[in-house]
Amino acid sequence: MSVARFIADQRTKYRVPHTVTCALLGVSLSWFYKWIARVDDPEGVHTDTDRRRRELDAAVKAAFEQARGLHGSPRLHADLVEAGWRVAEKTVAESMRRQSLVARQIKRRRGLTKQDKSAPKFPDLVKRDFTAEEPNRIWVGDMTEIPTECGKLYLATVIDLFSRRLLGAATSEHPDAALARAAIEMAVAARGGAGAIWRDDPAERVIFHTDRGSTYTAHEFRKLCVTLGIRQSMGRVGSCLLTG
């Protein structure tokens, strides 16, 4: 190995400035710069280490962009290893620093549930026992926000705890009572209509368990449940799985 290549390797492998190495070896900077200028590499890659670093930087940047800037060094390292690279996570982190690649932090969305404190309170009829002995005994419902390229979309679901079957799934641009109505109406239709689920004994009617969100305590939704013969049950604010 030549002296000049040794100096270059100290810089690329160990981050030792070439000015320091040249001074320690008694080599002039001008000579080292001339050696660099004589290297026949139009892209400025002077050693195998330089070349690998350039290739790694390109791979890290491509993986970073493919992840839409959301992955930090641990996840990018996993992506590169999966793609066939043999590289340490620390090396990936160094490459990201060289290229000023900083992962974006996703802001956590606030929960959809907004409680209407003036609305009637429904008891928790489930008491964390999320099982049912037969169909149409206990249904559970929830709303979820789905980010899309065109904006936010909201999904309301109804599931029968006996079969774990999804009975109703309605979507809307607004997480309101109308969306909750659409999901429960779909669930009722899936079970043969209101006549099929109606029970004369109020204690035997279908229980619909949700959180205490204003969508489920809204007057129009409560009225629909009464009309369909459905008993409402509620857990805590923001979670139908916890007792209130």
Residues 138-234, CATH architecture? 2-Layer Sandwich (3.30)
At 42, the pLDDT band (50, 70, 90 cuts) reads very low
pLDDT at 48: 72
Task: Provide the residue ranges of all domains of the chain, joining segments of one domain with +.
Answer: 3-98, 138-234
Is-contact 240 128, C-beta < 8 A? no
- This prediction's pTM: 0.52
What is the share, in percent, of the chain residues with pLDDT greater than 70? 85
Nearest to 45 by CA among 58, 28, 29: 58
The amino acid occupying position 79 is D
Residue type, 209: H
Amino acid found at 173: E
Please count the CA atoms within 13 angstroms of the CA of 6 that sit on its side-chain side.
9
- Whole-number Å distance between alpha carbons of 54 and 42: 13
| The predicted structure's pLDDT at residue 112 | 55
pLDDT of residue 116: 59
pLDDT tens-digit profile of 82-95? 888 899 999 999 99
Q: How far is CA 24 from CA 12, 20, 106, 163, in A?
A: 17, 6, 48, 77
pLDDT at 238 over 50: no
| Tens-digit pLDDT profile for residues 107-147 | 555 555 566 566 677 899 998 888 999 999 999 999 999 88
**pLDDT tens per residue across span 146-182:** 888 788 899 999 999 999 999 999 999 999 999 999 9
Rg, the chain, Cα only: 32
Write the CA distances from 53 to 13, 16, 47, 86, 190, integer angstroms.
Answer: 10, 16, 10, 13, 60
Q: Checking DSSP bridges between strand 206-210 and strand 165-172, what pairing results, if any? A: unpaired
